[in-house]
Amino acid sequence: MWKTLVYSSLLIASANLSLLPYSVQAQTETNNPPASTYQPGFWQPVARVNTEKPISLKIINETGIALDYSFTDETLTPTVLRADDNVTIKSLNPEDSIYLVIYPDLNIPNASRINLQYLVEVTENNMINLTVKQIEDVGKGNRTFNLQPTGAIFLY
């Protein structure tokens, strides 16, 4: 029985290690074109920042409506971003994961039915431009921006 357990453990470990190059390669967005194993989805970072340099985030509201945004920290205090305005948040520290929720202002009728899409661009000076737009397709909508300690950026 002990031999069976050892062989099973080795088989599982070997299988996991054999998949490792594919999972690491699939998460690398800097390949152009992406790796042949790349599978688009929420598990892929949409962009990366350099965590060794100061990081800034610019939220650009192109929705035509007011938005509320808030970091999901202990305060969770929403801030209003007026229609077609923008705000820059400087000196982000992704030592722990940063989660930022952005949603239509709750004073707007049927706010929960409005679909938003986030577009991310990272500039050479480590500025994250997060453009928010209204869309019709519910399946492509976003409500959460996530910056990981590795510099990977995810949208949910």
* Alpha carbon distance 38, 118 (integer Å): 21
| φ/ψ (deg, to 5) at 115 | -100, 130
Average pLDDT on 87-101 reads: 92
Report the chain's mean pLDDT, rounded to a whole number.
80
Three-state DSSP class for residue 36: coil
Helices (H), 28-86: none
Output the CA–CA distances (angstroms, integers) from residue 52 to 31, 95, 149, 151, 155, in the order listed: 21, 11, 11, 9, 22
Domain boundaries, the chain: 57-155
Tell me if the pTM is above 0.75. no
Between residues 55 and 13, the one the model is more confident about: 55
Q: How confident is the model at residue 35 (pLDDT cuts 50, 70, 90)?
A: low
Pairing relationship of beta strands 55-61 and 127-135 according to DSSP bridges: parallel
| φ/ψ (deg, to 5) at 44 | -95, 135
